Structure 1
């Protein structure tokens, strides 16, 4: 409900500003009216409460404002006598009649009470976009988005400004996958994050925060920024909830429930759901091989057909206990279990130099997968007063298991693979916020993250003998201790936030089968600085700097190969080093009555950047060179770009939001490796490229109160050191209709209307030893067009209710205090 309040009060506020602008100059110096707005029962500050100042016995607003996250407001008016009205959605307004304002006046604390009658009857509809643009982040509100009904978190992220998700489920921010994904402010503990996001239902998500330049209070990891996924936590009094059923083509169906029961002292919440998903895809790789003299040697066409099915259960249960009026303790358990089958059929067609067909082979990979994830989290908040002085303590423990087994058959071979992974994680965190004076505050905190991953991977031949060249046992241990402090203050129209974070990292990467042991110990200081200038009530300018780190994890470091194709192999690199990034960002935001415009320019300088490189390893299969794709620390990367976001409401029934991002990337470095024949190969991988990304989203209310949403997106072409990635276009649409007196909603959506979200690329490789080369054209589509129908039923809960902040749950997961203002 918070975002709906935000939208409605913005409309109210902009109207107030407009009306005030029409008043003739008074010729008198203005004075300030200040105060704080609280919820009467919990004594918690109300953000986005509206303050209206009118002439006595006149309904025309001549000045107004809204409260900040601390409930504070400040309105400038000419000296005089006024009626003052303080309002907040679903609360009874407070009016102060005939108030004489001759000099700066503090109204003190204003306490608002819930309007029980309004709560039981009102149906609130947001009149602004589902995207909130703030100075330090963008907040995407999932509850109002029809496009993701019955979908997954991956579908949610693919609609978020500045964020894109490729067909394999990999998430990128501003064109970079060098990011950190948080859930309720804590790092995702899943072994395969992309797969975990595809299994978590969209219905469990409340909102997504995109933070492109995080401050010192956040983890330093994620060179290009953070994405924080906030789960739903009900706040309505009594028993209420939502049920959602969905079905789709290809065969997809699911059922989920979000239930909440709140009393004066306790708030119980739970989410549970089952889903069955089928993803059909396919791809091809057409390769032409050249001799040393440049003439054609042969051709190979590789065609792939994929089908993945998943059955998943997701459950979450917790309780929030109001220990005292100023102390809140939340405990929750999360559990996920998924099973599935993977089928990859790859056909190889061989042609001679004249492109005459010479024969074909095939390779079929039938796999089974099973994962089980368990996490316990605890959060304690102690508010020492109502001015923001507080202590937050978080703890979590998790265990994640992934098992993948496959049987590979083909025209000339027979193999099986076994891949078992177990990861354990413990997290401890404490954040302290101390307001020092009006407009300034001090913050400090500690975070400890301790992880242990064991991965066993085996490739067996037809006789059941393990292939030692392709098999391994990986042991990965990571311990990180971090301390931070930051200080923020506001002086007139300038706001400042300076911070420093120190992280000590101890990582062990051990290959037990080959007895290769790698220990990486390092500690770094991560400074950050933010400056904001309030040009007017409707516009702000910001500048920021932060240092970030990216630690290699998961598939980047795991030397287990992707063996579905025996000539195009992916293999991780356990000897990767972290990369460090200096980030600079300047931004400007401007608000009008119907339009919000946000733009920023950014520069990132990264050392030891990760990059994927393809190279022949010296082996051949039926005369075809084997190509290995692996990540390396390439060298330096400099990235410069700009982006803008527009939220526009041309009419009450039509809302638009769009996002555009353009960037230039320059990388310098080379890759040296020794192939299977013992030959040292060096590749020069210097590259400079431009690329861009655009998305536009339209939501329109049609006759008979049918809502229609349409989203289009385009990823521009980008040159790489070994070829180029072609542009990619996609379009989604959805329709929804409220039924049963607005207690239920029917939604229908189509993902990838034109079946066009296909990764296309050209690659050129040369063997410096033989001077032979090859050129390849590739296509890959992990998920084809999908149709989905969902039915949502709500009881004891108005549509789009954003839940008032009865208890100050720290949804940012250790987010600390608010930026001074």
Structure 2
């Protein structure tokens, strides 16, 4: 909250300072110093330093402090009043005589309790903080996600979209890396969408969106990086909050954030239990064609899913401040969930003339149990107050996922046992992950610094999937779907980068080298795929400041997108036996060259940023649908799989606006338009009517699409907050069909009660029940289909939050944490 207020005040103060600055052709003196907070001894960033004429108190010149609290001003020799200002702190004035270059040492500033109270009443930190290199979304202020999941959080963040299947895209690009507290945290093998739907939204402090990362960051993710930062208390003493939720469809949970902070250590924890149903639906209406384009039959597939989840999430950690310059953080996270997902599917069959033939009913009872344990240890050594430091981070994780299902498939009204089938699937996944990273920062001056580091990531994923058919009362393995897949990944990386600033111009250039050793072994088929490659990933950033509130940036980086999880698994489930998703164990990584041109301008009540971007990707992934065999009754089986295509060109531009027209109204909006061109072709084999056939398809395609989102928060009478979020995702064509546009809206109301110690809120997700994935597919000579999929129907949630030993504003981000509390950026890198 303080940083937001500081920007508003500095916009006015700095304009006044520069407007009255003196112009002297004589020799000037350079004066430096440092401003700190009196109680905590922490540096104050963005504090204003104003030099006044002692005779008439007129402004001579001025400046502001950097991230280390250090300021530099240039002035003619003479006597001046140095005035130090920072919002919610008492002003300090010191008279000094300047005869030449000098260092005025450290100036402490004390909090102003009266001013602080006024700020708390009249101002609130913006939900979305738009910065030039990244965007920071503060979840604590967002009523829209109360009682929801991390997936709901991401779907409210500018530039990010989450489709009906839970797939996350940044600027429309699904090749994005998702981190939790800067770490992969067992997301490699698991379905990322499932993990994000399990974690409660109330455990998230903020989300960072980095569209074009530098060499410091992991090169994974052609579309950028999304970093989810979990809550950690910052106030002294014992404090925390408890949140209870209930909703319809069933959505019940209890969440506690507890924290104890002293001078030498900080203990924090997040505890959560949730019971959630996510009923959904899907249908696919297909028209099957022969090689001449004539209709052979129609099949309408209609499914209903329940998706019940019961989960426990616990996070415990301690920041230990060993000395004034050395801190050590340890944390352990335990997550466990189980659930049932009964799926009922009806298939209505029609002849070529649309005469009804028969109906099949398929029932899939799925049971799943997930257990994950993650331990991390983090060292931070600060050699001085100028930013010279070393960071070492180690984390290990173990994940076990057991998923079993029972499937019955019967023709409605038939008494012939030969027309019915019964199957069961047994799926066990075991994942082990270890990450080691070290980052070293060496400033050469206040305006330049060198960084270098190492990162090692080691993952093993063992997936044993077994499908059995019931034959004559016994379960027999089905070799068509049974497999045992072992995925091993070892990635070692080194990086170095240097940045400097000259006046209004600054730059940073870096190089990252990654050595990748990947094994994808399909044991049951004796299919061994070894991937050995190493790559250089350069990055470069240029920045020019037109003024304090206006700048432009040009950046470049090279990225990689390695196939993982369901992209590699040769089989993904049997919810349907005619529309199947199947991974490709032989997928190669995609390489992306990313260019970004950005501009940002700030006014008192408005922040505007825009960027144009170009991503050129080699070996890009493309989902293709092919006909592969047929069921016992002759219905063709359509399989969707990812393949490597030759090249993809993605160009687009976006606008982001934060606007506060009044104290009681805040608006932020995002608009993104992109053009996506793919170039490539694919030849595939399939079986039809007992014959082995070969087909060729040209995947050259140009698609245009866009999406927009607007978020409005209004304070109504009696201090009731009302928030509305609306978005629209435009249609997009591909080589095999079209995805239709979708509009949706969420809304929420909240009220502080019990002398602002508690908050009650109600929110409605998907007000019009319209958030559905809609897709058209056309394969010449094979099929024409239209389908819709809704992951979760409209949901209403009521939540109650109680805070103890903390004010409501303590839930918002405060000015820099203690010695051992790294910035969010410190977690990422190496």
Match of residue 108 from structure 2: 111
Match of residue 623 from structure 2: 612
Q: How far has the Cα of 1:296 moved from its partner?
A: 2.6
Match of residue 778 from structure 1: 787
Deviation readout 1:370-412 (Å, 9 max, x if unpaired): 1000000000000000000000000011100111111111212
Deviation readout 1:152-208 (Å, 9 max, x if unpaired): 111111111111111221111010110111111111313222111111111111111
Task: Map 1:66-85 to 2 at 5 A.
Answer: 66-74=64-72, 83-85=81-83
3-state SS of paired residue (2:7): helix
Contact 1:28–1:79 (8 Å) recurs in 2? no
Match of residue 448 from structure 2: 440
33 and 817 in structure 1: CA distance in 2 versus 1, 3 angstrom threshold: farther
Deviation readout 1:201-244 (Å, 9 max, x if unpaired): 11111111100110111100000100011111112111111111
Task: Map 1:418-567 to 2 at 5 A.
Answer: 418-462=426-470, 463-567=474-578
121 and 534 in structure 1: CA distance in 2 versus 1, 3 angstrom threshold: closer
2:804 to 792, 795, 802: 795
Match of residue 748 from structure 1: 762
Match of residue 819 from structure 2: 807
Match of residue 166 from structure 1: 163
142 and 59 in structure 1: CA distance in 2 versus 1, 3 angstrom threshold: farther
> Are 2:646 and 1:635 aligned?
yes
Contact 1:216–1:499 (8 Å) recurs in 2? yes
The count of residues paired between Structure 1 and Structure 2 equals 808
Unpaired runs of at least 5, structure 1: 767-771
Distance 1:151 1:511 in 2: 38
1:649 to 638, 660, 668: 660
Match of residue 253 from structure 1: 252
163 and 74 in structure 1: CA distance in 2 versus 1, 3 angstrom threshold: farther
Match of residue 413 from structure 2: none
Match of residue 408 from structure 2: 409
Q: How far has the Cα of 1:524 moved from its partner?
A: 0.5
> Are 2:680 and 1:669 aligned?
yes
Contact 1:586–1:602 (8 Å) recurs in 2? yes
> Are 2:719 and 1:720 aligned?
no
Distance 2:46 2:23 in 1: 30
Q: How far has the Cα of 1:791 moved from its partner?
A: 0.7
Distance 1:240 1:89 in 2: 25
Match of residue 769 from structure 1: none
Q: How far has the Cα of 1:803 moved from its partner?
A: 3.9
Match of residue 633 from structure 2: 622
> Are 2:177 and 1:180 aligned?
yes
Q: How far has the Cα of 1:118 moved from its partner?
A: 8.2
Contact 1:395–1:429 (8 Å) recurs in 2? yes
3-state SS of paired residue (2:476): coil
3-state SS of paired residue (2:525): coil
95 and 160 in structure 1: CA distance in 2 versus 1, 3 angstrom threshold: same
Distance 2:628 2:374 in 1: 41
Give the stretch that moved more between structures: 803-812 or 656-665.
803-812
Contact 1:5–1:48 (8 Å) recurs in 2? no
Distance 1:534 1:102 in 2: 31
1:144 to 120, 124, 141: 141
Deviation readout 1:259-315 (Å, 9 max, x if unpaired): 111111111111101011110111111112233333332221111111101011000
1:711 to 720, 725, 745: 725
Deviation readout 1:588-639 (Å, 9 max, x if unpaired): 1111111111111111110000111101013245232100000111220011
Contact 1:526–1:546 (8 Å) recurs in 2? yes
Match of residue 683 from structure 1: 697
Match of residue 376 from structure 1: 375
1:595 to 602, 606, 610: 606
Distance 2:76 2:137 in 1: 38
Contact 2:122–2:663 (8 Å) recurs in 1? no
Contact 2:207–2:226 (8 Å) recurs in 1? yes
Question: What TM-score, normalized to structure 2?
Answer: 0.93
1:699 to 713, 721, 730: 713
Contact 1:147–1:732 (8 Å) recurs in 2? yes
> Are 2:671 and 1:660 aligned?
yes
Task: Map 1:293-442 to 2 at 5 A.
Answer: 293-411=292-410, 412-442=420-450
Distance 1:795 1:211 in 2: 34
Contact 2:317–2:329 (8 Å) recurs in 1? yes
Contact 2:183–2:828 (8 Å) recurs in 1? no
Match of residue 415 from structure 2: none
Contact 2:246–2:253 (8 Å) recurs in 1? yes
Contact 2:253–2:272 (8 Å) recurs in 1? yes
Distance 1:696 1:34 in 2: 44
3-state SS of paired residue (2:306): strand
Q: How far has the Cα of 1:60 moved from its partner?
A: 9.6
Contact 2:750–2:761 (8 Å) recurs in 1? yes
Distance 1:493 1:17 in 2: 15
124 and 186 in structure 1: CA distance in 2 versus 1, 3 angstrom threshold: farther
2:44 to 43, 46, 49: 46
1:132 to 129, 132, 136: 129
815 and 241 in structure 1: CA distance in 2 versus 1, 3 angstrom threshold: closer
Q: How far has the Cα of 1:812 moved from its partner?
A: 3.2
Distance 1:80 1:326 in 2: 38
Q: How far has the Cα of 1:57 moved from its partner?
A: 10
Contact 2:328–2:820 (8 Å) recurs in 1? no
3-state SS of paired residue (2:809): coil
Distance 1:75 1:666 in 2: 51
Contact 2:449–2:500 (8 Å) recurs in 1? yes
RMSD of Structure 2 on Structure 1 (CA):
2.4
Contact 2:22–2:60 (8 Å) recurs in 1? no
244 and 701 in structure 1: CA distance in 2 versus 1, 3 angstrom threshold: same
